[in-house]
Amino acid sequence: MLVLFLSSLHPLPPPSAGGITCIPAIYALPPDPFPSVEDFVLSSSKTYHLDITKYTTDPPTSTLRSSFEDYLNRNPKVQAIFVGTRRTDPHGANLKDFDRTDGGWPDFVRINPVLDWHYAEIWAFIRFLGLRYCSLYDEGYTSLGGTGDTHPNPRLRVGLGSVDGKDDGEGSQQYRPAYELTEDLEERLGRA
């Protein structure tokens, strides 16, 4: 999604007084993030010139909703936010390309540029362009949350104990990379 956004900026806006223009971004992380996700976000921030505001979500104390409330209170000129939601994601089935937030959420327009992309199309785009991605995807993870609720996708398990990704208890702990998964509705099978 970020690469699509960046490609739409050609030619790039003029640099700010301090040099390169940075793109504001929100990173809502779980209370137990994977170190490799943190490393990837940091390197992406440098590569793509992102000005990241980090929020740790830990319901009920802090949630994605409260993170957006805080962000918009600090940045009142923001009227729209690009979101990477797809139809097969939770709460994505009825979204439109441009959608105001639901009642009870801070008011902004969600821009959903990859809403109708399939899981395999996302990976084809990433791999065709040779884009960097988090190393966990090479270890069989297909949807990333925190260390407590995220595991490699069982459909990608390989070894003697694996039959069509189902564990018989005797196989190895090896997994194929995320881009080998083809079914949209299997993406979140590694999430608790």
Domain end residue (candidates: 53, 76, 111): 111
**153 and 61 in one domain?**
no
**159 and 72 in one domain?**
no
In a domain, 98, yes or no: yes
**107 and 59 in one domain?**
yes
Name residue, tokens 């902004």: 108
Which amino acid is present at 91? Answer: H
In a domain, 116, yes or no: no
Give buried/exposed letters for 55-65 (b at 16+ CB in 10 A, else e).
bebeeeeeeeb
In a domain, 20, yes or no: yes
**86 and 153 in one domain?**
no
**107 and 29 in one domain?**
yes
CA distances from 4 to 23, 76, 114 (A): 13, 25, 9
Query: What DSSP character marks residue 191?
Result: B
pLDDT digits (tens, 9 = 90+) for 77-102: 999 999 999 999 988 999 999 999 99
Query: What DSSP character marks residue 178?
Result: G
**90 and 154 in one domain?**
no
Domain end residue (candidates: 80, 111, 142): 111
Q: How far apart are the first and last CA of the chain?
A: 25
List the beta bridge partners of residue 80: 109
Number of domains the chain is built from: 2
pLDDT digits (tens, 9 = 90+) for 51-85: 999 999 999 999 999 999 999 999 999 999 999 99
Name residue, tokens 């009870």: 104
| pTM metric for this prediction | 0.85
**98 and 51 in one domain?**
yes
**182 and 140 in one domain?**
yes
In a domain, 53, yes or no: yes
Q: At 41, is the pLDDT very low, low, confident or very high (cuts 50, 70, 90)?
A: very high
Instruction: Look up the CATH number of the domain holding residue 54.
Output: 3.40.50.620
Q: What percent of the chain has pLDDT over 70?
A: 88
Range of the domain at 138: 134-186
Neighbours of 51 (CB within 10 A): 10
**103 and 50 in one domain?**
yes
List the beta bridge partners of residue 181: none
Neighbours of 86 (CB within 10 A): 21
